Amino acid sequence: MYELVGADEYQYSGPEVPYVLDLIPLASGLAAISSDGRLSLFDPLRVGSGPNRTFQTSHGNLTTAKALDAAGCVLATAGENGTVSLWDLRDSAQGPGVTVQVDGLVNICDTRITDEDEAVIQAFNHGASIHHAGFLSDSEVYALSHDEKLAMYDMAEEREAGSATKDFGDTRQTLGCQYVANMLPKAGFTGAVLGAGAQDAGMFKLVHLSKHQGWGVDLESVVGLPGAHGSDIVRGFCVFDEQQVVYTCGEDGKIRAWRPPLS
């Protein structure tokens, strides 16, 4: 296992230190959302200097944020009050989007259609409460449940009852971890990266998935982040390939930057 080393970090502060819930890479920098309802923008090269800008969202309990365009300039946030806010609004064409539910359904929606029922193009039943879901290619979708079950689905293939094209089951056994933070597609849809953690061991791992004739886990190229966020759970991560840096965020209220060790 190849290991990275901590290069920089920022600690959120306050009477109650918030969880840092997720990180979103943008053309304008690195965005972070936290459990105090804030959306913060950082310079990826100087995370330790703190956020350049901070916005207080109005979702009540802020739960998720996503970049909506290929350039990563338009950001959507959402939370428990059922509202969605767009940041840096622009008039652009919309494509399919993914919505998920606690009943285990993954819905593929046409975001140009305003009627909620008519907007659903296709639905897949993951069979467990969804933690994360997203596109891996123009037609392939992944779903990760709160009990760490992972499966892939394909809009282009007619399968009985929307069944999975690849079902990994409980990934904790395969990856030797206690939880999975998320899965992110690689640039150009060439594969994906799973972020898996073991808080008892203070370790977070990046595990690569590749697709040849079918999806498979590559356990020979695992990247380790020793120490991670200590005994706290890592909630999100992102990779800046060109800068050779990985960012993680966790329930300890920190954002950490990781780089290859100096030779």
Kindly give the pairing relationship between strand 2-3 and strand 215-226. Answer: parallel
pLDDT tens-digit map of 12-58: 998 899 999 999 988 778 999 999 999 999 999 999 999 998 988 98
| Cα Rg of the chain, angstroms | 18
- Band the pLDDT of 160: cuts 50, 70, 90: low
Question: Is the overall model pTM greater than 0.85, yes or no?
Answer: no
- 3 state SS of 136: coil
The 10s digit of each residue's pLDDT in 214-253 is 889 999 999 999 999 999 999 999 999 888 999 999 999 9
Give the burial string for 205-230 (b: 16+ CB within 10 Å, else e).
Answer: bbbbbebeeebebeeeebbebeebbe
pLDDT band at 100 (very low <50, low <70, confident <90, very high): very low
- State which H helix or E strand residue 36 sits in: none
- Cβ-based neighbours of 116, under 8 Å, separated by 6 or more: none
Residues in the chain: 263
Residues 148 and 171: their CA atoms lie apart, in Å, by 6
Please, which residues have CB within 8 angstroms of residue 160's CB and are 6 or more apart in sequence?
none
CATH superfamily name and code, 2-105+171-259: YVTN repeat-like/Quinoprotein amine dehydrogenase (2.130.10.10)
Mean pLDDT taken over the chain = 86
Candidates 62, 52, 58, 56; CA nearest to 20 is 62
Token duo for residue 131: 């933690």
Averaged pLDDT, 199-214: 90
Angle at 125 between CA 120 and CA 100, to 5 degrees: 55
Burial of 69 (0-12, 13-18, 19+ CB in 10 A): middle
pLDDT at residue number 90: 40
Percent with pLDDT over 70 in the chain: 88
Pairing of strands 96-100, 149-154: unpaired
Nearest CA to 165 out of 215, 219, 100 is that of 215
User: Which residue intervals of the chain bear CATH 2.130.10.10?
Assistant: 2-105+171-259
pLDDT digits (tens, 9 = 90+) for 132-149: 888 888 888 899 999 999
Nearest to 196 by CA among 215, 172, 167: 172
Place of tokens 């059922």: 82
The structure tokens listed for 152 are 């892939």
